[in-house]
Chains A and B, each alone.
Chain A
Amino acid sequence: MRLLTHNMLSSNIKGVVNGFPLRIEAEKVVEKTVEMNGEFLKKMFEKIDWKAFVDASRAMGPEEADCSMLDSDEFLNRFHHALLELHLEEGALVCPETGRRFPVNKGIPNMLLHEDEDTDGEDSKDGLTDIWKVGVFSVTG
Chain B
Amino acid sequence: MVHSVLKASRFFCPPREALGLTSAISGRVCYSAFSSMKETNFSIVDSSSNTVAPTREPCITDTLSVNVNGTTSSMSVQCTPEIEKKFVHHVYDAIAPHFSSTRFAKWPKVAAFLSSLPLGSLVLDAGCGNGKYLGLNHDCFFIGCDISSSLIKICSDRGHEVLVADAVNLPYRTGFGDAAISIAVLHHLSTENRRRRAIEELVRVVKKGGLVLITVWAVEQEDRMLITKWTPLNEKYVDEWVGPGSPRVRTPSSVSLESIPESEESRSREHMNVCNEPNVSRDLDEENNIKNQQEYFVPWHLPYHRAEISGASADALAAGLAIKDDKKGAVVYNRYYHVFSEGELERLTTGINNARIVDQFFDKSNWCVILEKTL
**Residues of A with Cβ closer than 8 Å to B?**
1-2, 4-5, 7-12, 20, 23-37, 39-40, 42-44, 47, 58-63, 84, 91, 94-95, 98-102, 106-120, 122-123, 126, 128-141
**Docked pose: A24 CA to B50 CA in angstroms:** 13
Closest to B140 in A: A40
Closest to A124 in B: B75
Closest to B59 in A: A115
Asked whether A20 lies within 8 Å of B120 as measured between CB atoms, the reply is no
Partner of B171, one of A11, A32, A33, A129: A11
Counting CB contacts under 8 A, is B116 at the interface? Answer: no
Taking the closest CB of chain B, its distance from the CB of A130, in whole angstroms, is 4
Contacts A110-B164, A131-B68 given: A23-B46 contact, CB under 8 Å? yes
Main secondary structure of the interface of B (DSSP, over half): loop
Asked whether A110 lies within 8 Å of B166 as measured between CB atoms, the reply is no
**Docked pose: A25 CA to B21 CA in angstroms:** 37
Asked whether B41 lies within 8 Å of A108 as measured between CB atoms, the reply is no
Closest to B245 in A: A134
Partner of A5, one of B10, B14, B65, B143: B143
Flag B23-65 by CB within 8 Å of A: 1 or 0 each.
0010000000010011111111110001111001011011111
Asked whether B241 lies within 8 Å of A137 as measured between CB atoms, the reply is yes
Counting CB contacts under 8 A, is B119 at the interface? Answer: yes
Contacts A32-B34, A141-B275 given: A108-B46 contact, CB under 8 Å? no
Taking the closest CB of chain A, its distance from the CB of B57, in whole angstroms, is 8
Closest to B273 in A: A139
**Docked pose: A79 CA to B82 CA in angstroms:** 45
Asked whether A8 lies within 8 Å of B143 as measured between CB atoms, the reply is yes
Counting CB contacts under 8 A, is B307 at the interface? Answer: no
Taking the closest CB of chain A, its distance from the CB of B155, in whole angstroms, is 9
Chain B interface residue number, banded = 35 or more
**Docked pose: A26 CA to B40 CA in angstroms:** 11
Contacts A40-B139, A99-B51, A128-B67 given: A47-B122 contact, CB under 8 Å? yes
Contacts A62-B1, A108-B164, A134-B244 given: A120-B75 contact, CB under 8 Å? yes
Contacts A99-B53, A130-B67 given: A34-B149 contact, CB under 8 Å? no
B350 surroundings in chain A (CB, below 8 A): none
Partner of A133, one of B34, B65, B156, B275: B65
Flag B104-140 by CB within 8 Å of A: 1 or 0 each.
0000000000000001101000000000000000010
* A-B residue pairs in contact (CB < 8 Å), sample of 25: A4-B161, A9-B173, A28-B42, A30-B37, A32-B8, A33-B6, A35-B9, A35-B14, A36-B19, A40-B120, A40-B141, A42-B120, A43-B119, A62-B1, A91-B44, A99-B53, A100-B53, A107-B156, A110-B149, A112-B165, A115-B79, A118-B78, A122-B74, A133-B65, A140-B236
